[in-house]
Structures are given as C-alpha cells and as structure tokens.
Structure 1
Amino acid sequence: MLLGRGVVPTATPVVGVDDLGLTRGHGCFDATRVRFAAGVADIDVLELHIARLHRSAAALGIPCPEPAAWHDLTQEACRVYAGDGEAMLKLVLTGGGETLPAGPVAYVTLTEIGEETFRQREGITVATLSRGVASDAYADAPWLLGGVKTIAYATKLAAKEEAHRRGADDALFVSTDGFALEAPTSAIVVRHGRELATTPTGATGVLASITIDRIAEAAPQEGYTLTHRLFTPADVRAADGAWFVSSVRGVAPIRRLDDVDLPTDTTGDDVVRRLAGF
C-alpha cells in the first residue's frame, strides 16, 4: 500500500533506481503485529509505532508524512488484506532520490506471520556475538544513529546468519566491555525474583522498545518492577528466566545461551507474555 497511489501489486516497482533507501540504506521503518478475526483487524499500539517512525525519520533528516496519513494507509491495507490470523504490519519510509528529483517514498506492507515465529514463542537458543563497541559508545556520537530504526539491516542480518551457523535461533549482542545489549530485532529481559531487568537505551545505542515500555507500564499491576541497568551474559545465565521481546515475534523465552541451558521459568513466561500483551 503506497502513499499517494494506494494498493500496488507485489511485483510492481515502487522506488527509483537511485532512491537513497535502496542505494545507501537511508530510510527507516517500524513494525507491529496485526490480528485478523472475521475480517476485523486488531493492530497492536499503532500510534506508538507511528510516533517511533517519526523519531527515526527526524534523526535521519527525512520528511515524514503526518500520523493521520500513516493511519489511513494502514487501515486501507488492512481492509484489502486477504489473510487471517496474525500478520506483520511494516511501515517504511525511504530517503528519496539521490540525484533524480524524487521525494521520499512511504508505504506499508502486510505479511502473514509464519510457523517459525510461533515456534520461537515457545523457546529459542541464542549465541552471544560481539557488537564491537563499548556499552557507552553512542553517548557523544548521535551521528552513529544509536536507537534509530533504520532500514540498513545488513549487520543485523549477518549476526542472525552467524547465530544460525553456530546452531542457534538468534543472537545476543555483547559490548566490548562485557555487557549484554540487545538482539538484532529484539530487546532482552531477565527476571530476578520480582525484578525484571532490561538494558538501558541512550549511550548503549539500544533501540527504545515499545514492548519493553508496555511491560514497564503493566508490571506493577502484577507486583513486578522493570529496571533499566547493565548486566552481563553471566547474569543472564544466573537469572530466574530470560526472554527476547519484540512487537511481532512477541515473547521468546531463551532456553539456551551459547553452551549453557537456562532454567525453564514457566511462571515468568506467563507473566512476561501477559505484561507484553501476548
């Protein structure tokens, strides 16, 4: 669904050959889950994802359509979607033409969520990988775009491929000073008793997670607190439970980290899923 054009067949080109999103990864996106039942779409916290998309666009200096335009585009996409069950809604904004006079391109896609995602909600194995920077590397370097959800995902895809080569489902980035950061497409949460902990944003370059915000808001209702603090992979292994959380996959319990089996925290699984809205 392309802003200004409406429904576009999947095989129809929508960006020019010199679009900065295509040639240099200069663009941003956001994504969330949509549940379809009897033709009715239930979109998870769409306004929060549109707001984060606007923050990403501002960091990149790309003019972003107004929230109402994204909302209308999304509603139209849901109206014509032919699937059922769960789908991934992706909102994409490119940087526009590099040499040709073409402005940014805004579009949304809906893709059915596959069985592999549902499997990973039951548990995943994870490999730790160095991110190659210290935990405070982004403190005084906003041009590194820490915490910005850009479409330049080559490094994150490469990390996932390396995790697969090591026999794991996903990767956990670790800073050069030894702290757990985030997964390529997820935040991490660990439980110690009634405390849930996640990595701080800001200087770490970790993306501010909408799912984490939902957990933090709901946690006191279940007698839990959510803390933003640094911790190590050893702390993850010693926790009562650990999870990767994200807007589409939802809550994925970490069952193995490198060569160490983690405890199955059934109580924690249920709590974190409820807090995250899954």
Structure 2
Amino acid sequence: MPTQVLAILNQPSADAPPHDAGAAPLAFIDPATPLLSALDLGATRGDGIFESISVGNSMPQALEHHLRRFVHSAATLELPTPDVDVWRSAIHAAIDELGPAQEASVKTVLTRGVEGDGRPTGWVYASHSGDYSRLRVDGVRVVTLDRGYRHDVEQTSPWLLAGAKTLSYAVNRSVLREAKRRGADDVIFVSSDGFVLEGPTSSVIYRVGDTVFTPGTGLGILDGTTQSSVFRYAESLGLATGFQQITAPELGKADAAWLVSSLRLAAPIRELDGAAFPMDAALTAGINAYLRALTD
C-alpha cells in the first residue's frame, strides 16, 4: 500500500463553484504529478491556509479542533469558508488509502486559487511520518527570538493575521536556520515587549509545581490542538491547568517545559538560551503515550 496519498478536492468551499460540475467530490492523484497552476496564489503569494493532523490507529487526532481552526484561519484571511463535511470526508478517505504505519499525518491545504478565477484550490495529503522518538526522549535545545510584534498585536493590528495558520512560512523557516546558527534545535518566539508566545511549529507548555500552563489567550498565537490534548491528560492526573502570560526569564524558572505539536508530539526542552533546563521524563513519557493513543 502507498506511503503517501494525495486527494484533490473538486469543491473545497460551498461558497464557490466546483472546478468540474460533473466530477466527484475528490480525486486521488499520484503525489509526484505536477498539478498546481503556476498562477495559483498559494504558490505566488503564500495566500492560503493549512493544518497538519496526526494520525493514530488509522484515525485523525483532534480532527474537529483542527477543522475549527481551519475555518477560523480561512475567515481571518477572508477566504471562502471550507466545507467542513467535504474536508472531513476527504481526510478519512486519504487515511483509508494510506498504507499502515506506526505514525502518519494528514495535511490539508486551501489556497485562494488562480487570481480572478473565484475558485479556491484544496487538497489533502496523507503520508507516513518521520521518526521523532529521539526528540521525545532526549529533548530539544531552544533559543528565544523576538517576533517583532507586541503581545497585543491580535487586537491592535488584525491585518497582520496573527493566530491564523497560513502558508506564509518563510519567517518560520528562517528562525529555524537562525536556531542552528546559535547551536540550537528550535525556537520560542517572544513578543517585542518580552512575553513568551509559541514556537514556529509548536505550542509552548510548562509545569510549575502541580500546574501545567501555556501562554495566555489573546496573544496572536495559534489555538493549540495538541496543547488542548495535553491539558486533558494533565487534568486526568490531577494536575491543574491554566493560561498565563510570562516572560522568557520567568519561563526559565519553570520545573519543566515542552514544545508540543501534532506531528512531533511533546518534545521536552533540555536547554533554553544556552542554559541547561530540567526535564520531567516521567510526565513526558506519559504525555506522549497519551497523545499516540488518541483516536479523536
């Protein structure tokens, strides 16, 4: 069976016409086949959105949360509203076509399409995932970098699209190259006025005593799907959970911290800005076992 599957959606949004009025809702295409128009605004301007969804036990994890975030991102960019039923069916169909794997993922992409055409482009790509087991045990070295925005940018400058998961990922890739130049593996963004935000591809969570926190709401950061699942697990252990605005020096005093994301799951931070950072091996193992076993 295939290790990667690509499904092209005929009508990604009920607000726009289909690409082919007589065609099926989706078509499976060889992922190696060139398909995207050179005029598609997703390619020329990064004008689109995406979600990356972990697959466990042949089921997309936190699917409804991902779909809600997908719709929110579309609204933020004023894209045609994704037809959630169509996308949900396409995600399940792609997983069904994919060969068995210990870990897999699904990526959903919606672009504005060819300029002036009025029909968005949409596809679902499912594939076997890489091996992140070492990072989940050994941890990651992290540096903090200024994102260049105040913590309240979501309220003061909504046109900057803070909190939307867009295809404009040049900065997110650039900061990872900067991390490598500094001898680190990953990044935590901080606001220009000093507050901890998120990683370029992850949410930040941290433990202080018997409470697991994540940076506060309204900071122009993504509504973390994996962070939400980690909170449910922590609460099942009797730990408290909460949202809190903190600075980078305050994060440095936490008992443990993680970068969490749909594909990598929970990667403990073992070094922060060049200083050794405590890791909670038992809680890390429990979080990752819980995340890998999720079926919704």
* Superposition deviation, residue 218 in structure 1: 4.0
User: Is 1:2 paired with 2:8?
Assistant: yes
User: Is 1:137 paired with 2:153?
Assistant: yes
RMSD, matched Cα = 1.8
Q: Secondary structure at the match of 2:142?
A: strand
Q: TM-score w.r.t. structure 1 length? A: 0.91
* Residue of structure 2 in register with 1:16 after alignment: 37
**Counterparts of 1:65 and 1:181 in 2: how far apart (Å)?**
27
| CA contact 2:257–2:279 (8 Å) conserved in 1 | no
User: Which string of whole-angstrom CA distances, capped at 9 and with x for unpartnered residues, describes residues 141-182 of structure 1?
Assistant: 211111101111110010111111212111111112222111
User: In structure 1, which of residues 217, 220, 223 is the aligned counterpart of residue 235 of structure 2?
Assistant: 220
User: In structure 2, which of residues 166, 184, 203 is the aligned counterpart of residue 150 of structure 1?
Assistant: 166
Counterparts of 1:1-278 in structure 2, within 5 Å, are 1-4=7-10, 5-36=26-57, 41-99=58-116, 101=117, 103-115=119-131, 117-122=132-137, 123-202=139-218, 204-273=219-288, 276=291
Aligned length: 271
Amino acid across the alignment from 2:230: I
221-230 or 154-163, larger mean C-alpha shift: 221-230
Amino acid across the alignment from 1:2: I
* Superposition deviation, residue 271 in structure 1: 4.8
**Counterparts of 1:250 and 1:65 in 2: how far apart (Å)?**
26
**Counterparts of 1:257 and 1:182 in 2: how far apart (Å)?**
14
* Superposition deviation, residue 199 in structure 1: 0.8
* Superposition deviation, residue 270 in structure 1: 3.7
Q: Post-superposition, which runs of at least 4 consecutive aligned residues in structure 1 deviate over 6 A? A: none
* Superposition deviation, residue 190 in structure 1: 0.9
User: Which string of whole-angstrom CA distances, capped at 9 and with x for unpartnered residues, describes residues 89-137 of structure 1?
Assistant: 10110111114x261111111122112x222212111111111122122
Identical columns (%): 37
| CA contact 2:172–2:200 (8 Å) conserved in 1 | yes
User: Which string of whole-angstrom CA distances, capped at 9 and with x for unpartnered residues, describes residues 43-72 of structure 1?
Assistant: 212122112111111111111332211122
Amino acid across the alignment from 1:220: E
**Counterparts of 2:80 and 2:153 in 1: how far apart (Å)?**
28
Amino acid across the alignment from 2:50: F
Distance 1:275 1:194, change over 3 A: farther
Q: TM-score w.r.t. structure 2 length? A: 0.86
* Superposition deviation, residue 240 in structure 1: 0.8
**Counterparts of 1:43 and 1:79 in 2: how far apart (Å)?**
11
| CA contact 1:87–1:111 (8 Å) conserved in 2 | yes
User: Which string of whole-angstrom CA distances, capped at 9 and with x for unpartnered residues, describes residues 225-261 of structure 1?
Assistant: 2211111222222111010111111000000112100
Amino acid across the alignment from 2:31: T
